[in-house]
Structure 1
């Protein structure tokens, strides 16, 4: 049996091959199209006669395609890539046709008109409202010619965005820098040297192999005493997928194509810009409101950022003899200044965050907050390093399950993310439990040593687990508003950023640290120095995120490709908020996958928007430190369990008892008055 057609249990990742993709997708598309045809004429239109069978057929297609998409991200190969790209247009065409199907639109309207709103539970009412909205946003009300063009645009966008992501992956994986002389390795952590030596040995070469993968690139920027080595890797990383490298991997024309297609798509629907179109499904009301929010935050942060920059320049000059602070010096000088000022290094702290201790601490926190237990489980996996767990409620019942893929490797796209594999759903005879992927790109232990994580990586892991819990702890039974489905995009980061706060609690760190050599927990004196350094360069870090968010929104609302260039627009944004200016040859947009290949186009501001919500939500725990379980139960009930069954603002207000405030965010970032 084709493993992609087997929905009897967990996905058969150990059996799925590129050869299964086409036949499975063709079968599932045919089934889904037949279900759509039946749904168009069903009468009378009821939830059980219309919505349920339509969900049944389309869910199988999206689950199978989700598995293919997941493998494309974590185990990329030429064969899988071809299978993916061959089938992507077919899947996109079906999605576009579904969104524009006038007969289905009419059936949903009939259902809305003949159903007493009071008789619908909130999840079904929200599902119905979202469906009608999404038909309009999907082009269902367009004239036939415009509808055809709209579908064509969506298909083109899917293809071009996939190529953008592939180019970034290939440009990252293809780069290697070889070092023969050990003196160039001065300052680098032993584990990085060992990993680069192992990488060279794996290719039968002497010396050390350095790549642009994060577990290699970031330590070089942070610790390498060899300024030329830092510059070499910085430049290679900065120009990935641009005209400076392999012409086949240049994302320049793809950026222009993506922007043009998005602008045309928005125009067809009557929006002034793609930014307006994007915000139609978000909390923010307009691009102007987003820009005002970002600029207000920028005005608060910029004085702190300028002070941060001045301190770095002075320290570089006086302590390190660097008369100029170049971009490839910033991480290195920052780490040296932090060591000098707070008497510890990120590398020193890293020795305490052994992988098993961190996971144990994370799982203990989940139990303390929500009364659920994480238990090791078994499942077919796509790589030997992947772990699998189940989440059990207090009575032992299964809540959901998740995969954990922690380590960087070739063929795996960079970054960290959560995605759903199967959503919670109330079926006639049972509850379908959720299943999610949690993916990171940490360094793996070498020579028998356990993996250790930097504190930033610990924060990343907690962040992604927060996303996972949002999907796993939902109590909603309707697919389209279950878990993170139907949640406004600019509120999706609330549960993830909320979890980050616990990485700064002394009682938590005591239980999730164990020195890689001695087994001792993190010393209180070192923790105190970490806390003292918590807001170190926070102004600089804040304006960097604001730079990305302002650029994204301006690009999708104000950009005119005839009169302007992408790089010129970015420079104007930097004039407004940046304190660290990259060189003119830097090509940041060419690898900005969040907005050009992910779901964050005209939505990158969501990180800061949701940070306001998450900081304010965590403040509720600060205000009642002795009521952790009670506050956690309320957070689970009012936010995590609700999914998209009501608005994110309603969820937050039900938990907090009021609208969100920016004050907690400024305080948590050390920028309060």
Structure 2
């Protein structure tokens, strides 16, 4: 029987994929990688063409086979979990084994030492440079027991990362609150009530069902007048995957975190580093832990006084207008929405009817066409994994050069949040030029029988953010896989293109393209637009210190030389909150237990990257502010200097090529409404 994961057409055959196909396909591709490596190293003169290029091609096929399995585990879970985890263990072992291959390392080193190396194409030189770095970080210099320990740690860390993510997903899916009393849901907008009704029907229950999926949770916290309901939902959410709350101990990530931190610290020590933060920074723009901490503390010093003023105003409003003597954690979003409406007469719900998902999507594509001269075209013939998913081609002058899948709506057993991931990478191989393909995933409210999914403006910016990542991957002109698209890009710069594209969500000329009433097509009224823009920086300082809380907690946690016990983790988070936070926290809050970015994603000792890259994106956008937001020359300049270059050059070099100077923080502070 044929196996699409072994045959590997450019577009995965999602209509023919089954979990039992994963193991034989991954085994076959791993065997092929090892055979290609053995042949390449046996060559009389191992080098780029004889050794590295064939190996990279075999590894690309491995990646293309694993990509659908990994993706389906995230968006469907269920039967895909076990084969994904088994494959992940084998692939982790392979990469660890490769990182310890001295003979292969010497091929890279001999290439770098060759007198003609400086004349090589830039992308190939960068690939060798990054390869040598990764060998060092992968433990190629270790011997004997230390090498074995490093390899065992790597395998175990992959397992623990998957376990952490599974616990968060299962904890999120396990908790629901059903009610037949619509009065309990007073204040919820019609869109949220319809979604709660649909959720109940989907599980064959009566009435309305509240879940911990993003749209449902946020609707309750922002709009439910029932304070007891807000508390119930908030406590269930903030205690997910912990030893507290309604599912205490059932999906507990507490021991998982400690083991992850201990193993990361061990890996750093084995490589001769003081802590995991040093190991993390070896592949980032920031040059030292001191530089990162100073950056975060500097931003905190500027933002916290404004954040404290914002919270004091909210407390006063809650007491005088809402009758809340003391703001509890489950009151903050609700009270803030009331204050925002009183001050600006605007709310996310008032904006929803003007941001129907189909209109936003078409408008976003039109924005990108004006900026970069590319068009987007749907292709309903491409097989997908769920009826909600669409596939699109990117075209330039009528020619397809990239594509992406878009999975926009929340559903049961789908990982929360929003993300972009790779299907294929642009690369020149033996069969010709391979086109880059991406997954874009969001968790917006489902459409109903009588209306499309209506987005909040926050969700509009989320869609633009993820498409910005996708464009970075798809618009690359680099054809050497390891540095094409997002590959090889410093992690603290990878958010630049995504945050950069969000700026157009706040520009009236672009808003006219992405908005229109879902029933009449009527444009967003000028008065409502002006209120939305006036409210742009409402509580932006409070949001900033919240992000700084996450970033400082993450970075300081990974600066610890020996990892941390559960008690130390909590103590450090409490300490960071005392330094920068301004809002109260529930006693049941175990935020760390669901902090997937750092325990199950790529942001360990790197969450600061969001703010670091925000400096870059705000400063980059300031050139458009000077020249016009749709200035074709500036758009092409950004395309050629940033998006097309991938990881072929250092991020600071690319930014400087675009902006003509090093990045400055002023634009971020100005755009956030925080005085410099």
Residue pairs, 1:546-561, within 5 angstroms: 546-558=548-560, 561=564
Match in the other structure for 1:628: 631
Give yes or no for contact 1:45–1:111 (8 Å, CA) kept in 2: no
Aligned ranges 1:580-599 → 2 under 5 Å: 580-599=583-602
Contact 2:265 2:561 in 1 (8 A): no
Q: 1:438 aligns with which of 433, 437, 440?
A: 440
> Could you tell me how far apart the structure 1 residues matched to 2:377 and 2:192 are?
32
In structure 1, what is the equivalent of residue 8 of structure 2?
Answer: 7
- Paired with 2:548 and 2:390, the residues of 1 have a C-alpha distance of 35
Task: Answer with 222-231 or 419-428: which moved more.
Answer: 419-428
Distance 1:115 1:436, change over 3 A: farther
What is the TM-score of this pair, normalised by structure 1?
0.98
1:140 aligns with 2:140: yes
TM-score relative to the length of structure 2: 0.98
Number of the residue aligned with 2:284: 282
Q: CA deviation at 1:512?
A: 1.2
SS in 1 for 2:642: helix
In structure 2, what is the equivalent of residue 58 of structure 1?
Answer: 59
Tell me the CA shift for residue 176 of structure 1.
0.8
Structure-2 residue corresponding to 1:267: 269
* One of 494, 497, 500 as aligned partner of 2:502: 500
1:562 to partner: Cα distance: 6.2
**Could you tell me which residue of structure 1 aligns to residue 491 of structure 2?**
489
- 8 A Cα contact 1:574 1:581, kept in partner: no
Whether the 8 Å contact between 2:367 and 2:513 is mirrored in structure 1 is no
Match of 2:388 among 385, 388, 392: 385
Q: Is residue 212 of structure 1 aligned with residue 215 of structure 2? A: no
Structure 2 CA distance for aligned equivalents of residues 247 and 582 of structure 1: 20
Instruction: Deviation per CA, 1:204-233: give whole Å up to 9, x if none.
Output: 322111100111110000000101111100
Residue segments in structure 2 that go unaligned for 5+ positions in a row: none
> Over residues 454-485 of structure 1, what are the superposed CA-to-partner deviations in whole Å (9 max), with x where a residue is unaligned?
00000000000000000000000111000000
d(CA) in 1 for partners of 2:181, 2:291: 54
Q: Any idea what SS the aligned residue of 2:537 has?
A: coil
Secondary structure, aligned partner of 1:98: helix
Contact 1:559 1:569 in 2 (8 A): no
Query: Is the 2:483–2:489 Cα contact (8 Å) retained in structure 1?
Result: yes
How far off is 1:374 after superposition? 0.6
1:38 maps to what in 2? 39
140 and 109 in structure 1: CA distance in 2 versus 1, 3 angstrom threshold: same
Report how far residue 247 of structure 1 moved. 3.0
In 2 relative to 1, CA 559–311 (structure 1 residues): closer, same or farther, beyond 3 Å?
A: farther
C-alpha RMSD over aligned residues: 1.3
* Aligned position for 1:249: 251
Distance 1:218 1:488 in 2: 32
Rounded Cα–Cα distance in structure 2 between residues aligned with 1:603 and 1:307: 29
Separation (CA, whole Å) in 2 of partners of 1:248 and 1:206: 26
The match for 2:528 among 522, 526, 529 is 526
Work out whether 1:371 is the aligned partner of 2:355: no
1:127 corresponds to = 127
Measure how far apart 1:286 and its partner are: 1.1
Q: Contact (CA 8 Å) 1:388, 1:402: kept in 2 or not? A: yes
> Could you list the per-position Cα deviations for residues 364-419 of structure 1 after superposition, in whole angstroms to 9, with x for gaps in the alignment?
011011000011123111111100100011x2222200000000111110000001
Whether the 8 Å contact between 1:105 and 1:135 is mirrored in structure 2 is yes
**Contact kept? 1:475, 1:642, Cα under 8 Å:** yes
Structure 1 residue 56, shift from structure 2 partner = 1.3
**Where has structure 1 moved over 6 Å in runs of 4 or more?**
none
2:425 to 413, 423, 426: 423
Q: 2:319 aligns with which of 314, 317, 320?
A: 317
Work out whether residues 389 and 403 of structure 1, in 8 Å CA contact, stay in contact via their aligned partners in 2. Answer: yes
